[in-house]
Chains A and B, each alone.
Chain A
Amino acid sequence: MKPRIHAAVAALLLVASGCSAGSSATVAKDPGTLAIGYTAEPANFDFTRTDGAAIPQALLYNVYEGLVKLDADAKIVPLLAESWTVSEDRRTYDFKLRKNAKFSDGAPFTAEDVKFSLMRVKTDWTVSIKSTMDVVERVDVVAPDHARVVLTKPSNGWLFSLTSRLGAMFSRTGVADLANKPVGTGPYTVSSRRRGDSIVLKQNPAYWGTKPAYSTVVLKYIKDPTALNNALLSNGIDVISAITVPDSIPQFQSDDRFTVVEGTTNSEVTLAFNNARPPLNDVRVRKALSYAIDRKALLDTAWGGRGTLIGSMVPPTDPWYEDLSNAYPFDPAKAKALLAEAGRPNLSLRLRIPNLPYAVSSAQVVASQLADVGVTVTIEPLDFPAVWLKQVFTDRDYDLSIIQHVEARDIVTFGRPKYYWGYDSKPVQQNLVKADAGTPQEQVDAMRQVARRLSEDAAADWLFLFPNVIVAKNKVTGFIRNQVSESFDLTGLAPR
Chain B
Amino acid sequence: MSVPNVGVLGVGQTPYVNRRTDVTFPELVREGAQLALADAGVTIDDVDAVVFPLAPDALTGTGNGERWCIEALGAAGKPFMRVNNGGATGMSAIIAAWTHVASGEFDVVLVAGAERVSESGSAQSVLNKMWDVGYERPIPLNTITMLALSAVRYMHLYGCDETDFARVTVKNRRHAALNPVAHLREEVTVDDVLASRTLAWPIKLGDACPSSTGAAGAVLVSERYARAHGLDPAWIRGVGQNTETFWMNDRVGPKALQDHGDADALATAFQRAYAQAGLTDPTTQIDVAEIYAPFSSVELHVIEAAGLCGLGESPKRLAQGDFALGSAGTVVNPSGGVLCSNPIAVTGVARLAESVLQVKGRAGAHQVPDARVAVASAIGGDHQFYSTLVLSSDLEDIA
Query: Do A and B belong to a common assembly?
Result: no
Which residues of B are in contact with A by a Cβ distance under 8 Å? none
Which residues of A are in contact with B by a Cβ distance under 8 Å? none
